[in-house]
Amino acid sequence: MAIFTLILIFISPLTLADSLFKEGDYFNAITEYKRALFLGSIDSIYGLSMIGLSYEFRQKPDFALKYWGEVNYLKNDKLSSLHVAYNLLRLERYRECMLTLGSPVDTLAKKMKALALGLQGEENKAERELKFLNVEPPQIPSKKFLIASSLILPGSGLIILGEYKRGLMTAAFTGASAYLVAYFLKKKRYTEALLSFNVFFLRFYMGNIQNTLKMRRNRIKKFYLKLEREIEAQLAHKTLEELGFK
């Protein structure tokens, strides 16, 4: 404890904060950057930027947005605006993100706009942005096609998405429940037919569509999450380079 106290006394808060940041100890790095700002031993733009970046690495976009907002207020530059937009994106505030980006010229900003459009559900616009950047959009059948396919042949939408086992099981269960309804109707057991229709057939038939759309959303989300990680890495590298972090 005494040794740690001596370190705090003789090592400047900035040196300690930067060392902790390099080690990936972002929690304590934030504390030291804040201490350095309080003591006035650090440039405010640098300190606030490093705190914002540390919060991004800690996956806390709400706190990161606060500090990048302060940097943007003081500096009003492209880089801090990108960070504000990125954290709005992480908070699922897609409209605000795109408003912050405006009409992007920078490749990174364009990627971010495509990501916001994609996560917001505007797939066609997102694909156009991605193609302009020479980024191949996810090759996934349209929602309308999958719904139509699943309505005509239950389970086929899942099979098209590569979920063969689940698709075949869905087809089998839906077919079996349809047979059960037909059997009761043939025997003029209308109450049992109605119950079978509501309890079994509708459950499997509608569930087949819901599961297909859910699987499609997961595939799309997986693609965009990969793009988000790329943006995060590129933005962090660009920021540290601009701040002269070594």
Given a cut of 50, whether residue 10 has pLDDT beyond it is no
Which range is most confident: 75-79, 84-88, 107-111, 181-185?
A: 84-88
Which domain does 69 fall in, by range? 11-91
DSSP 194-216: HHHIIIIIHHHHHHHHHHHHHHH
Residue burial 143-157, b: 16+ Cβ < 10 Å; e: rest:
beebeebbeeebbbb
Separation of alpha carbons 62 and 87, rounded Å: 7
Q: What is the predicted pLDDT for the residue at 133?
A: 87
Does residue 167 sit in the same domain as residue 115?
A: no
Same domain (yes/no): 105, 85: no
- Looking at 79, 110, 137, the residue that finishes a domain is 137
Mean pLDDT of 126-154: 89
* Average of per-residue pLDDT across 152-178: 93
Task: Look at residue 229 and tell me if it is in a domain.
Answer: no
CB-based contact 177:204 (threshold 8 Å): yes
Q: Across the chain, how many H-helices and E-strands are there? A: 14, 0
Q: Are residues 174 and 197 in the same domain?
A: yes
Q: Is 43 helix (H, G, I), strand (E, B) or coil?
A: coil
Would the pLDDT of 201 be above 50? yes
3-state secondary structure of 154: coil
pTM: 0.78
> Does 26 share its domain with 50?
yes
Contact 88, 113 (CB under 8 A): no
Residue from 213, 202, 124 nearest 160 by CA: 213
217 and 148 co-located in one domain: yes
- Asked whether residue 72 is domain-assigned, the answer is yes
Of 87-91, 133-137, 180-184, 193-197, the least confident = 133-137
**Taking residues 154-168, what's their average pLDDT?**
93
Instruction: Tell whether 56 and 82 lie within a shared domain.
Output: yes
The residue-averaged pLDDT of 30-57 equals 93
Q: Is residue 2 part of a domain?
A: no
The answer to whether residues 157 and 123 belong to one domain is no
Exposure string of 186-204, with b = 16+ CB inside 10 Å and e = fewer, is eeeeeeebeebbeebbeeb
Q: In the predicted model, is pLDDT for residue 59 greater than 70?
A: yes
Has residue 15 been placed in a domain?
yes
Residue 208 confidence (pLDDT): 92
Res 9: pLDDT: 47
Q: Is residue 241 part of a domain?
A: no
| Average model confidence (pLDDT) across the chain | 90
| Structural contact between residues 140 and 163, judged by C-beta atoms closer than 8 angstroms | no
Using alpha carbons, select from 30, 102, 101, 117 the residue that is nearest to residue 66. 30
Same domain for 133 and 148: no
- The two tokens of residue 166 are 């689940």
Q: Is residue 240 part of a domain?
A: no
131 and 147 together in one domain: no
Angle at 207 between CA 205 and CA 212, to 5 degrees: 105
35, part of any domain: yes
How many domains, in total, are found in the chain?
Answer: 3
Q: Identify the band that residue 76 occupies on the pLDDT scale cut at 50, 70 and 90.
A: confident
97-132 residue pLDDT tens: 999 998 888 899 999 999 999 998 898 899 888 888
In CATH, what number is assigned to the domain containing residue 83?
1.25.40.10
**Strand, coil or helix: 63:** helix
Contacts by 54-59 with C-beta closer than 8 Å and gap 24+?
54/21, 54/26, 54/29, 54/30, 55/26, 55/30, 56/83, 56/86, 56/87, 56/232, 56/236, 57/24, 57/26, 57/236, 58/26, 58/27, 58/30
User: Are 164 and 196 within one domain?
Assistant: yes
Residues 77 and 108 in one domain: no
- In this structure, the answer to whether residues 83 and 152 fall within a common structural domain is no
Residue 38 within any structural domain of the chain = yes
**pLDDT, position 121:** 86
